[in-house]
């Protein structure tokens, strides 16, 4: 780990927790995903009861094999978290570089013997560290699932890996938009906009013809994420997540270097 | 210690600096004097490696700002016009952060931290949150940030702006103490500031050096004030006469 990047990351994380933003986002997350988890649990319970009744009625237990805890509960939780991330992670990244510009502290950073990649990696580590905190708040759900059921461990790990990779892309996009402006609100909405495009391009794939559809589908973040939630870890998806993140981080580097190379 | 050679900087069609050259010896305190918009901040930003010059080059402690910006950044301490502080941090944690940014070894950090706190009169405010400090104290934190790693070259952009008279005198005294050990370049548009703190003055106007002289010599011949006004009014007069000529 590079030392200067670590210095930047530590300061950024600390300042996130001094401002109310980190608590607000953690709070929203815990509340909304908690309600969602309860609802999903309730639905799953209903399905299970129905299946039991049907099995008793028809003396046939085959129906249970169609009920999959992983697909019906774990995938639900993870997909919902993904959608929450679209709107909350930009809230974490929005101030990362725009605040430095607004406060004039970027003059300190750029006249210190560190590279612009140190700054970018530091910001990335801090915001990505926040992702782990959010996931940590979901340990409760996983405990419940593992205690009262026996899901396959593979897909659960794959789902959370997929979520982490999506978070990486989202954080990279957020840091990029934050580097473009000194206004946090603009950084937030631009990030949400770009992320929605990355998501909706997959929906557009259903209405455009031929090759374009294939391209749109491959460009959509949802396509790659869904593979992970089913427990499929494909190389092409890994390549997708890393290239898209790298693309936006490289954009960030160009953007912050242009500040000093005018 | 500081050497600028034919520095030119243009922002699009606007030419901020034109062929600026000067040299500052080790241990000198030099004032950079000019009206607002004369090119002081641009020059300082080039010297700190923040901006790249359009043409020309500058050397800080032997490192070229074009070829070795990292070497330059290691040898300078810089106080920009607005102190680059994080309002949510305490004075102490902020200065520790700066020391890490400047890549100072962990063993030396505590000593340097205490030294800079004492130098800038911040020892009893070390645990205060910067956002709660008055403007004068925030400026001191900015100054502490520029000197905390004991750099050979200290560059200060309008260090006394917005301070009350007592604070101004204190900061000036502090800057004077750096003479000999550190090389200091400070910018200001206040004439008396240069008289009070500097050994030499460089007058810039419209991106050019129009005068350079030792303060002692100035008192004997013309006062700095006369010189400064002369330079500026001469230029204005030339502009007015040119405009009149064009109008005719």
pLDDT at B183: 92
User: Could you tell me the pTM of the whole model?
Assistant: 0.88
pLDDT at A168: 96
Residue A171 and residue A159: Cα distance in Å, rounded? 18
Interface residue B40 vs chain A (CB under 8 A) = no
pLDDT at A2: 47
Q: What is the CATH number of the domain that holds B221?
A: 3.40.50.300
Q: Closest chain B residue to A110 measured between Cα atoms?
A: B50
Question: Å from B70 to nearest chain A CA?
Answer: 5
User: Mutate which of B10, B101, B156 to test chain A, going by most A C-beta atoms within 10 A?
Assistant: B101
Task: Give the residue from B84, B208, B66 showing the smallest Cα distance to B141.
Answer: B84
Please name the residues in contact with A176: beta carbons below 8 A apart, sequence gap of 6 or more: A191, A248, A249, A251, A252, A255
**Per-residue pLDDT tens for A63-94?**
677 677 777 788 888 999 999 999 999 999 99
**Per-residue pLDDT tens for A206-239?**
888 888 888 898 899 999 999 898 888 899 999 9
Report CB contact under 8 Å: A107, B11. no
Domain holding B141, by residue range, is 2-247
Ranking A20-29, A115-124, B219-228 by mean pLDDT, the lowest is B219-228
Task: Give the residue from A190, A166, A143 showing the smallest Cα distance to A79.
Answer: A166
pLDDT at A1: 37
Mean pLDDT of chain A, nearest integer: 89
Q: How many domains does chain A have?
A: 1
The per-residue pLDDT string of chain B (248 residues; one tens digit each, 9 = 90 and over) reads 899 999 999 888 888 888 889 999 998 999 988 888 888 899 999 999 999 899 999 999 999 999 999 999 999 999 998 999 999 999 999 999 999 999 998 889 999 999 999 988 899 999 999 999 988 889 889 999 999 999 999 999 988 887 788 888 888 888 888 888 899 999 988 888 888 888 888 888 888 887 777 766 666 556 666 777 777 777 666 767 777 777 76
Domain holding A73, by residue range, is 3-260
pLDDT at B180: 80
pLDDT at B117: 93
pLDDT above 60: residue A129: yes
Q: How many domains does chain B have?
A: 1
pLDDT above 70: residue A107: yes
pLDDT at B214: 73
A114 neighbourhood in chain B, CB within 8 Å: 101, 103
Q: Which two tokens stand for residue B110?
A: 């505590």
Mean pLDDT of A143-153: 83
pLDDT at A221: 93
Interface residue A7 vs chain B (CB under 8 A) = yes
pLDDT at B13: 86
């Amino acid at each position: 780990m590079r030392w200067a990047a670590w210095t930047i990351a530590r300061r950024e994380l600390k300042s996130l927790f001094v401002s109310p933003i980190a608590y607000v986002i953690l709070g929203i997350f815990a509340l909304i995903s908690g309600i969602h988890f309860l609802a999903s649990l309730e639905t799953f319970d209903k399905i299970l009861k129905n299946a039991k009744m049907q099995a008793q009625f028809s003396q046939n237990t085959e129906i249970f094999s169609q009920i999959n805890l992983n697909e019906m509960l774990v995938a639900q939780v993870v997909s919902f978290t993904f959608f929450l991330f679209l709107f909350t992670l930009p809230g974490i990244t929005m101030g990362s570089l725009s605040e430095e510009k607004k406060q004039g502290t970027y003059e300190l950073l750029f006249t210190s013997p560190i590279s612009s990649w140190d700054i970018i990696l530091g910001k990335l580590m801090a915001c990505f560290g926040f992702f782990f905190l959010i996931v940590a708040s979901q340990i409760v759900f996983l405990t419940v699932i593992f205690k009262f059921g026996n899901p396959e461990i593979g897909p659960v790990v794959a789902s959370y890996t997929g979520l982490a990779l999506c978070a990486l892309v989202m954080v990279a996009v957020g840091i990029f938009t934050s580097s473009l402006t000194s206004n946090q609100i603009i950084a937030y909405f631009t990030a949400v906009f770009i992320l929605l495009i990355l998501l909706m391009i997959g929906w557009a794939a259903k209405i455009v013809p031929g090759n374009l559809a294939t391209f749109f589908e491959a460009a959509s973040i949802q396509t790659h994420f869904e593979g992970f939630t089913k427990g499929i870890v494909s190389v092409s998806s890994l390549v997708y997540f890393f290239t898209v993140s790298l693309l936006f981080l490289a954009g960030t580097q160009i953007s912050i270097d242009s500040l000093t190379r005018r | 210690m500081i050497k600028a050679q034919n520095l030119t900087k243009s922002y699009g069609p606007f030419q901020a600096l034109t062929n600026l050259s000067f040299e500052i010896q080790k241990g000198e305190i030099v004032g950079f004097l000019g009206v607002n918009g004369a090119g002081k901040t641009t020059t300082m930003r080039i010297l700190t490696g923040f901006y790249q010059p359009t043409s020309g080059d500058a050397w800080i402690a032997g490192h070229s700002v074009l070829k070795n910006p990292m070497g330059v950044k290691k040898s300078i301490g810089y106080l920009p016009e607005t102190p680059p502080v994080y309002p949510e941090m305490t004075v102490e944690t902020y200065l520790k952060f700066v020391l890490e940014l400047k890549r100072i070894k962990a063993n030396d950090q505590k000593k340097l931290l205490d030294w800079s706190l004492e130098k800038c009169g911040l020892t009893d405010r070390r645990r205060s949150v910067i956002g709660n400090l008055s403007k004068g104290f925030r400026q001191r934190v900015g100054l502490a940030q520029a000197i905390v790693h004991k750099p050979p070259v200290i560059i200060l952009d309008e260090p006394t702006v917005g301070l009350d008279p007592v604070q101004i005198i204190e900061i000036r005294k502090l800057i004077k103490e750096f003479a000999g050990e550190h090389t200091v370049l400070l910018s200001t548009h206040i004439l008396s500031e240069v008289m009070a703190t500097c050994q030499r003055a460089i007058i810039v106007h419209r991106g050019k050096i129009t005068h350079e002289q030792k303060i002692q010599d100035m008192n004997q011949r013309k006062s700095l004030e006369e010189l400064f006004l002369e330079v500026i009014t001469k230029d204005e007069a030339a502009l007015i006469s040119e405009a009149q000529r064009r109008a005719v």
